[in-house]
Each structure stands twice: as C-alpha cells, then as structure tokens.
Structure 1
Amino acid sequence: MTAALPTASTIAVIGAGAMGAGIAQVAAVAGHRVQLLDNRPGAAADAIRSIQAQISKLADKGKLSPERAAQARSNLVAVQQLSDLAGTSLVIEAIVENLQAKQNLYAELEGIVGENCIFGTNTSSISVTAIGAALKRPQRLAGLHFFNPAPVMALVEIVSGLATDPAVAATLFATATAWGKTAVHAKSTPGFIVNRVARPYYGEALRLLTEGAADCATIDAVMREAGGFRMGPFELMDMIGHDVNYAVTCSVWNAFYNDPRFLPSLVQKELLDAGFLGKKSGRGFYDYREGASKPAAQTEGPRAIPTGITLCGDSAAAQALAQRLTQATIPFDTAPTADGRIAQVNGAVLFVTDGRSATQRAADSGLANVVLVDLALDYATATRLAMTCAAQCSDGAADAAIGLLQAAGLQVSRLADIPGLAVMRTVAMLANEAADAVYQGVCSATAADAAMRLGVNYPKGPLAWADAVGLPTIRTVLTHLGASYGEDRYRLSPLLQRHVFAGKTIHG
C-alpha cells in the first residue's frame, strides 16, 4: 500500500484565494509545514492571518486541541517568490483557471524543485493531460481537486492525466486520506467526476423551467422536499454564480464535441447577459436585493378527503401511502395491480411517472383519468410530492387524487404535463451520466457515488439510487424521455443496459 507524504514534508500552496487558503489550512492542521505564495503583494500574509483565526475558532469549539491548533498556526509561512519553494515535496496550485497560466507556472517550477517533488493541480475543469503536456516530466503531475470550502468539504478528486505516474496518483490519494478527506480516483476527462455527473441536475431543471412545468420556487421545493436534495437547482445555481455554472456547462459541452446531454440553456445565458449572476450580484433566478422576498412554491389548496380509496400493489409508493393513511386514520382498501397503478379513487388512477406524459399514458392505456406522481427519495418521509394530470382527466378526478395525497400528509405541487416530472427525470439522468462515466473508465461506481454525495451533497449516490429505484425503471424512464423528445440527450448508457439485461444491480 502506497504511503502518504510524511508530515515532515513541506507543502507549497500557490494562490491565496479562498480555495488556496482552505487547502493550506487543511495541510497545516494535518501537521505539515505549509508555504503559501501569491503574486499579489501581502495576500499570502493576509490569508495566513485569516487561516490562523479560523484554526483558533476550531480550538475554541473543541474541534482541535490547543496544542494541535498552536502547531497548525505555526506551520504556516508566507513566501515571496517561487525560488523559496525549492525544498517542497508537493506543490499545489490554486491559481486562475487558465491553461497557459498553469503550464507556465509548473514549467518554471521544474527548474526549482527537486525531481521527486509532486505537482498537484487544483483545477476543476482544465485537462490534467493538457497541463502536463508543457512539462519535461509530466508524470509527476496529477489533479488534486478540492471542493470549496476545502476545510469543510470531505471530497478530493485525484485526477490522472495520460502521462501521470500511477505511483504519484496513489501517493496523493494516500495523502488526502491522511488529511482526513475521502479521496476518489478519476481519469482526466471533461468535468472529471463531479462537474460531469452533476450537469443533469442543472440541465433538467432548466428544461423544466423552459417548458413551463412550474416556476423556480416550485421546482426547487419539489427537489428538496421530495428528492431530498439539500438545495434546489435554481437556488444552487444562484449560489454558485451563473458566470461560473454556465462556463462549466459550456466547457463540458464543448469538450464533448457538443453532446446534447450537456447542452447549455438559453434561459441561463439570458441571466448572464443581463448581469444577473445570482447572490453575488443581487439577482439571479431569485431577487436577493434588500427588501425582496423569495417567492413561495406553488402548493395546491385543500381538497376534501375522498372516500373509496384503494391502494394497489406493493410498490414503495403504495406501501408508503398505506402507512401514511393508517397513521392519519383514513380508511382505504387494497388490491393487486396489473398495470403498475399505485392507487385509485373516485375515478382517478394514480401511477408513478415512467417518463411518459400523463396524456400519453392515458391514451396508451385507454384510461382517461390518469394522474402521475413523481419519484421521492423516501415516500414515507417526504413532505411534498409533484403530480400532473392527463389532458383527458376530469376536474373531479384530479381533485380526488390531490385530496388523497393531502390526506396522506403531503403538500402537493401540480406541474404541467411534462414527461418524467422533476425528481424522476433528474435522478434517471444523473444515474445515466454516472453509469457512462464508469463505462468509459473515468472512475469506479463506488467513486462516482462517493463523489456526488460528498462533493455536491446529494442525498444518495446516483448509481445506488438507481439500484434502489430499479434499473429497469430507470431504463424505461430514459427510453420514454428519448421517445418523447426525439433527442440523443436521453440515450441509455451501455453499462446501465448491460446490468438490466443481466438482471443485476450496479453495485450488486
């Protein structure tokens, strides 16, 4: 097993911005002497004072012993020039996201540091292979991608370029682990793991908005309260900044030769053109200016509790509805299901979405009063559920379906009749993208799930989530989405297909 760099090794961090300072703090707390360098006069010294204050706060809260905090503070040293880094064992750059700048920096460092010094670029989107192409010894370079804020976020992507020595990647993996992080190996492809696999979370939400499925606040609420995501996609894009988020989407889209899976959104481009960058500018999808209030999610008003409720089959949704109605002392009958319905009440027939619109499903089945409900991370604990009705559905049947869901203690958001609703289509696309990353050798299935849980705080890894929903269901949803839109965007990953044909789960 490859060993981590010993704590006697000196670590250099170039770039004293938020990311560089965070990485420096992590390394100093882990016991290394850390040299911090920035080309802005006084920036490194200012960053060190800020880091030391943060370390003191951790000690005050009991998260670090006084002795360890004092050592960590003393480990930090501001340096003035590259030549001061001659004795370092690892140089981590966290400078501007520009290929030429990174190549120039490491090319200059090659004439300063020793042969065994490792180069760890913190790039989030630039090819590690391309950065290394300018070096005499590209085998010493690998991606060491932390997530912001580095002291808090657990994930580190260890990214190998075409020339990266596997021993270098292994050393960085072991070192990040010794620093208390969860490291995952990835191949240098556009977006690595997180920035690639996460694209559908934004892309599908933007499509829902473009197609008039619902407003931003409603989609965000559904993704949080049914999907279990910590932030809704529009809240998250506003927090990241549309200049950053749109640029990453365009970068991945361009790098994959305009693959429609990563197609940027004109809606987001409009925000960017207007200078509405999100929280940083005071306006984005939401208004953050003083006095502005955030709009509420669209929630159906109260309906009468219907009678004659029948719950059908033993799916997760049906079982959860039974549990919730029992707790609310609402009477219901049970029946088997032959067509996948989960409930029927006063003429309404409820199904979990399978990627078709409710109107198409009504036409295909010959049932007029079709009501579709969205996926939930856990139907038993969700507080909100999205639903939609077929164009053929009567108002009375729609009201009965809404009343049933409300009787089960759910807030109901009615979306326009778009294929796949919100949570289901997003989870299916996230799982499909993660499966393709594994299929193409970018990472393992375990790494893909860990990266998405720890790098962007998803409630469940996309592949584990697909296993829980059922790979045949995910395949059906994607197939129907592809048929509905007639786009290659929803093409199935061969890995997902193979596991369905074999009757296996991804992790099984």
Structure 2
Amino acid sequence: MAALEQGSIVAVIGSGAMGAGIAQVAAAAGYPVKLFDTRPEAVEKAIADIGKVYTTLVEKGRMSGEAAIAARARLHSVATLKEVDDAALVVEAIVENLDVKRMLFADLENVVGDDCILATNTSSISVTAIAAQLRRPQRLVGMHFFNPVPLMALVEVISGLATDPAVAATVYATATAWGKNPVHAKSTPGFIVNRVARPFYAEGLRLLQEQAADAATLDAVMRDCGGFRMGPFELMDLIGHDVNFSVTQSVFNAYFGDPRFTPSVLQQEMVNAGFFGRKSGRGFYHYGESAAKAAASQEAAHARPEVVSISIDADVPDTVTHPLEQRLAGAGFTVGHRKPLPNAGENEAPAFHCNGAAIFLTDGRSATERASANRHPDTVLFDLALDYGKATRIALARADQCSDTAWNAAVGLFQAAGFVVTRLDDVPGMAVMRTVAMLANEAADAVNQGVCTVPAVDIAMQKGVNYPRGPLAWANAVGIAHIVSVLANLAAAYGEDRYRVSPLLRRKLANGNGF
C-alpha cells in the first residue's frame, strides 16, 4: 500500500508538544498541514515555534533554506474543525481521555469525507474502544508517535478490531515517507513499547528495594555494563514518577492484575511524597544548582592474580567467556584451560578460576545458592554485559560462603582487565541479566499473542526507547537456553508467577531455533 500522495492535506488536532511535533514532521515531508486547537493562540505559537526550529536546522546545516521556507509555508492554522473537511488524514493529539477522544472523532466524522483516515496518537487507550461508536470504525487507526516527535524515529501503527488493514498499511507507508520507522501492532494494553518496557523499571525498583545496591550504582551498571543510555532510576526521574507509576498501574489493571506488571510499593511512596523526579526537584536523585551528583560505588583496588584458567565443556568457545578470555589475554594473562571441577555437584562449566575462586555468569540463582549446589564455597558471579570487549564496568556478586581471599582475587582479575568492578549484593539474577531476561520474556509474549512480529518488537524497543539491542536479538545473543534458565531460576527463587517463562521462549528452546 502506498503512502498518501504529497499534496494530500494532513490535519493535526491539538497543538501541544506532540501535535506540534507531528505537524513539523509532516510539513517538512512535503504535506500541507492544518493545525487546530481549541485555543487559537496556542496554534499560532506552535507554528511560530516550528518556524524557529526550521531556522535552527538551516543554521546547523541539516535543512536547506529553500526547504525550510517551503515547509513553513505548508503550515496553516484553522479556527474550526469544519475547516479540515478536505483532509486526507486527521491525526488527533489531545488529552488522554476516552470520552473526549470519542467526541472529537464523532464530530470529525460529520466534517471529513468518507475516504479520510482518522488516526489517534493515544499512548494507552484502546484504539478499538475509541473507534467503537463511529459510523465507520474501520477507518480509525492508532498512529502513536514518541516524544520528541522530530527526534524519535518510532511510530506504532495500531490496529483496533475494526481497523481496515488497508488503512493501517497506508498510515504505515505514510509514516515511512515522513522519515519514521513504523511498526504494526495490535490494540492491546501498552501496545508494544509501554508493555515491553515495564520490566526495565520494575526489575530496577525491585533490586533497589532488595538492597542490591543504591540507585546511582544500579544506574551505572545498566549504563556501563548493559549499554543502556540511561539507568532505570534516572529515566524514571526524567519521565516523572507520577506519569511512570500511572502507566504501570494502567497496564496492570488492563491485564486484570497480571503479577508480571505489578506496580512497585517503592514507587508508590515516591508519588505519595511528591518526589516526582526532575520536575519536582527530587526523585531518586536531587536536582538543582546545589545538588551533588550521586556517585556509583566501586571496589577498592586489589592485587592482580598470577594465574587464571577457564573450565569448558566444548571445543567451541562460549559466546560470553570467549570475549572475556580475549580481554584477559590482552591484559597479559595466559588463560589456561581445564576440565570442570571434579567435586562439582552439577555441570558448572564454563567458569573462570583464580586463587580458588570459581567465577560464573549469573544464571538467575544467587551466588550463595550456586555455591551450595556446586559444593564450591568460593563462588563469584558476574553480570551480563552488552559487549564484554568494550564494557567499562562489570558487576560481581559473592556467595555468603566465599572467602575474602577468593573475592579479592576475582575483583583483582577484572580490574587488571580494565573493568571498574561494582559489587552487588547477592540477589538472584543480578541486574542486567534479570532485566534483559524479563524484557525478552515480555517481548516473546507480545509476539506469541499476535501483538506484533519479532522484527517489530526489536525495532520498537530500539527506536522508541533507545535500547542498545532489541530484546529478542539479545535473547539470541545470550542464548535462549540461558534466558529460560534465568527466568526459571528467578521463578523458583521468588515463587512468583511474575517470572513465568513465555510459551514462545520454551518453544524456541525445544525446537533449537532462535528468533
């Protein structure tokens, strides 16, 4: 299906940040735009501000002067809804209220032609519900942009139960023509991004509540190890805890209390206190000119161990231990190979060994539990990293049984390889691993339930919230078997349905295929 032809009129209802951003993008892509708001002065301000943005883009060499003049000329303010009667596409970007949106679209149906596409920019309301009372519900579709619209590439094209597939296809193609990365999604609570992203916040909040580390340390681990642009606490402070908590509550209620989406008591307390984040001057961090920047914790320097070895089970190097082995070699270590520990209670390879310490990638169990199972008290775990060759930090956890000698040797080993070492308390799954496993689990469930495709969920999370890797691509990289083990071990540790494994992950494990 082709995009709307250039020259087709696009009407945008609502001139706030989202509506103005949509108007800016559409006009720059060559489409005449009619901008309407119940406050005429807001429309004039929005158009003036868009003109300033075009001027700035010209000054930065990102837009030609001719293109800026032409784009500005395509922006028109209208005083009444009747003036959008010639629109080929109307995009609504008004308050998130079902009744208000229904009234607007009912009014629009009496104005626009029968072939006009109606689109809602809702981030949380059912597209099916919005369309339900229309005479022609098949022409209404979700067109969910992300803020700030000119900078964020993702557009979720959301089909309600009545949406005509041809309408969704046209909007998808039009979003592409506007320079965006659209993905198709089914109208379900949270769509793709607001659903799949819940574990990023939820696992961080649980780790903080369980005293794995403080907020600044957990944020540093997620950034420096996991490759995320922001950690969960600084991101929640930026979004606003009132907003973030409300979205979590909405998704939780919409899924009839599914424990996977359970809101955090800790975040509820932040909202109760009025600690909303940046906008209130205080969240998990303090803001303002006199506020000191919170520092992440790190281990003191320890001596470099003289000998390190790795136990392996196969000739093919493990995808995690191999890059670490290369990094250790680059630091001057000669890494010897050995068979698994003879006294292991189960197959414990692959593992690094130095000064009696056995150092494993977390599999969802605590170090203490793993030490007991392996009958090796000097057990240390390390967390997942996006790229062990480039990561600047690594998170370690020690078993309660672990000696100081073994712990210090493990810390010294990673420090010698150029890592800042951060200790997490011995919580199951550590930080990056449990978060990535839960993101992959939720993404797999979204695909399994027909909300979207595998490529769509990975694109959505990378383009919509700037994840360093799509969650299902990450599951492939870590290994489906390991992701399933992490989730199963978390479920066993907590005894909660929150960590149940997606049927699609189990299916991929059984058939031996990745995503």
Please indicate, yes or no, whether the TM-score normalized by the shorter chain is above 0.5. yes
Code of the aligned partner of 2:160: G
Code of the aligned partner of 1:10: I
> CA separation in 2, counterparts of 1:382 and 1:480?
26
Counterpart check, 1:472 vs 2:486:
no
Corresponding residue for residue 344 of structure 2: none
> CA separation in 2, counterparts of 1:67 and 1:41?
28
Out of 437, 456, 462, which is 1:453 matched to? 462
Map 1:87-486 → 2, pairs under 5 A: 87-313=86-312, 314-337=317-340, 339-486=348-495
Assess if the C-alpha contact under 8 Å between 1:312 and 1:318 holds in 2: no
Assess if the C-alpha contact under 8 Å between 1:159 and 1:185 holds in 2: yes
Deviates more, 1:268-277 or 1:332-341: 332-341
Q: How much does 1:343 deviate?
A: 0.6
> CA separation in 1, counterparts of 2:42 and 2:49?
11
SS of 1:42's partner is helix
- Deviating 4+ runs (over 4 angstroms): none
* Structure 1: runs of 5 or more not aligned: none
Assess if the C-alpha contact under 8 Å between 2:380 and 2:397 holds in 1: yes
Map 1:69-80 → 2, pairs under 5 A: 69-80=68-79
Assess if the C-alpha contact under 8 Å between 2:319 and 2:478 holds in 1: no
SS of 2:156's partner is strand
Code of the aligned partner of 1:323: Q
Counterpart check, 1:494 vs 2:503:
yes
> CA separation in 2, counterparts of 1:497 and 1:318?
24
SS of 2:141's partner is strand
> CA separation in 2, counterparts of 1:284 and 1:96?
25
Code of the aligned partner of 1:378: D
Code of the aligned partner of 1:475: V
**TM-score, structure 2 length as denominator?**
0.97
Code of the aligned partner of 2:429: G
Code of the aligned partner of 2:153: A
Corresponding residue for residue 343 of structure 2: none
Assess if the C-alpha contact under 8 Å between 1:385 and 1:412 holds in 2: yes
> CA separation in 2, counterparts of 1:193 and 1:456?
11
Assess if the C-alpha contact under 8 Å between 1:203 and 1:264 holds in 2: yes
SS of 1:150's partner is coil
Q: Deviations over 1:131-162 (max 9, x none)?
A: 00121111110000001111111110000001
Q: How much does 1:331 deviate?
A: 4.0
**TM-score, structure 1 length as denominator?**
0.98
Q: How much does 1:51 deviate?
A: 0.4
SS of 2:135's partner is coil
* Structure 2: runs of 5 or more not aligned: 341-346
> CA separation in 2, counterparts of 1:145 and 1:336?
54
SS of 2:229's partner is coil
Assess if the C-alpha contact under 8 Å between 2:58 and 2:64 holds in 1: yes
Deviates more, 1:117-126 or 1:325-334: 325-334
Q: Deviations over 1:53-103 (max 9, x none)?
A: 101111222212222111101000111111111111111111111111111
Deviates more, 1:38-47 or 1:461-470: 38-47
Quote the RMSD (CA, aligned, Å). Answer: 1.0
> CA separation in 1, counterparts of 2:322 and 2:166?
50
> CA separation in 1, counterparts of 2:333 and 2:451?
50
> CA separation in 2, counterparts of 1:88 and 1:272?
42
SS of 2:190's partner is coil
> CA separation in 1, counterparts of 2:209 and 2:435?
15
Q: Deviations over 1:445-466 (max 9, x none)?
A: 0000000010000000000100
SS of 2:433's partner is helix
> CA separation in 1, counterparts of 2:360 and 2:333?
20
Map 1:36-47 → 2, pairs under 5 A: 36-47=35-46
Assess if the C-alpha contact under 8 Å between 1:13 and 1:34 holds in 2: yes
Code of the aligned partner of 1:234: F
Q: Deviations over 1:316-345 (max 9, x none)?
A: 332223222222223442324452242111
Assess if the C-alpha contact under 8 Å between 1:214 and 1:415 holds in 2: yes
Code of the aligned partner of 2:486: V
Deviates more, 1:94-103 or 1:321-330: 321-330
> CA separation in 2, counterparts of 1:293 and 1:238?
16
Code of the aligned partner of 2:272: D
Deviates more, 1:82-91 or 1:304-313: 304-313
> CA separation in 2, counterparts of 1:134 and 1:285?
43
Code of the aligned partner of 1:480: N
> CA separation in 2, counterparts of 1:332 and 1:164?
60
> CA separation in 2, counterparts of 1:452 and 1:164?
24
SS of 1:316's partner is coil
SS of 1:12's partner is strand
Assess if the C-alpha contact under 8 Å between 1:210 and 1:267 holds in 2: yes
